[in-house]
């Protein structure tokens, strides 16, 4: 495992239905993040198309995981030698999922994840709920999982990914100001109780009548907040350290004991 991994979380305003514009600004931010030393850039939920765009637009814009959006992001990742996590509507058969995908710095598709817990009518009116998932990808020896927004608020989701062997979980989100406690309280708690790093990348601004609260954050396995954004656009940088992960797991036994209980059933 690489001793340290350098993260960039892009807290931006949504640009709904402007796919070319979103890819262009992703290119610019990825370039800057890579030049600042980041290994991976995490975008908010449904970044490519926008989130609050309505079921008709979601259906019209949805693509397969290896479609044009993936190819465009792969080109950006390769051009700037940085891994990228981005959100988009994914089509498979008759279903459209709220998805997030990680593309490596060499353009390889590492992991595609589909949101399992849909939030309110906004989600349920646009997407199908995915089956539970705990797949991981590897980046510089780090084992990394993905969740999307509301998924984080169910403790069994984070525990499932942690039990699969994750060292860190990345969470693209589109969280509203009424739920600021998710970033300020829940993110560090999920990190502590599962002995993983958690990175939570949110929007700011608004899409129509839906407003976003910012406060993107990175928490360590001991529950410490390593970095937190405000409520304006910014790229939030944080470094996660393998030695801190090892120390937290030696000191706290929640995850090992939870695994023992599950295996004894």
CB 105 within 8 A of CB 81: yes
Point out the catalytic residue in the list 45, 90, 193, 207: 45
**Backbone φ, ψ for residue 21 (5° rounding):** -65, -40
CB 211 within 8 A of CB 176: yes
CB 8 within 8 A of CB 38: yes
Point out the catalytic residue in the list 102, 115, 193, 207: 115
For residues 158 and 10, what is the distance between their CA atoms, to the nearest angstrom? 22
Point out the catalytic residue in the list 12, 102, 149, 193: 149
Beta strands in 148-208 (DSSP E): 168-172, 197-201, 204-207
**Known active-site residue 45:** yes
How does DSSP classify residue 83? E
CB 13 within 8 A of CB 203: yes
**Known active-site residue 115:** yes
Catalytic residues: 45, 115, 149
């Amino acid at each position: 495992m690489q001793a340290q991994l350098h993260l960039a979380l892009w807290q931006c305003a949504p640009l709904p239905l402007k796919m070319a514009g979103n890819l262009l600004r992703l290119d610019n931010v990825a370039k800057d993040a890579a030049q600042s030393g980041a290994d991976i850039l995490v975008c908010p939920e449904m970044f490519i198309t926008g989130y609050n765009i309505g079921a008709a637009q979601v259906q019209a814009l949805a693509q397969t995981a290896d479609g044009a959006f993936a190819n465009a992001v792969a080109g950006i990742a390769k051009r700037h030698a940085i891994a990228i996590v981005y959100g988009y509507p994914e089509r498979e058969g008759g279903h459209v999922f709220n998805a997030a995908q990680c593309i490596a710095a060499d353009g390889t598709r590492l992991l595609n994840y589909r949101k399992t817990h849909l939030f309110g009518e906004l989600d349920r009116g646009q997407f199908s709920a995915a089956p539970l998932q705990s797949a991981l990808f590897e980046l510089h020896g780090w084992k990394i999982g993905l969740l999307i927004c509301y998924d984080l608020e169910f403790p069994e989701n984070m525990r499932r990914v942690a039990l699969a062997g994750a060292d860190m979980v990345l969470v693209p989100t589109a969280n509203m100001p009424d739920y600021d406690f998710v970033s300020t309280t829940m993110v560090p708690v999920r990190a502590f109780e599962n002995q993983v790093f958690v990175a939570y990348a949110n929007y700011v601004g608004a899409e129509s009548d839906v407003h976003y609260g910012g406060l993107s954050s990175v928490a360590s396995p001991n529950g410490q907040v390593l970095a937190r954004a405000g409520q304006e656009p910014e790229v939030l940088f944080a470094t996660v350290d393998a030695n801190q992960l090892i120390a937290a797991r030696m000191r706290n036994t929640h995850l090992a004991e939870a695994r023992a209980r599950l295996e004894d059933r």
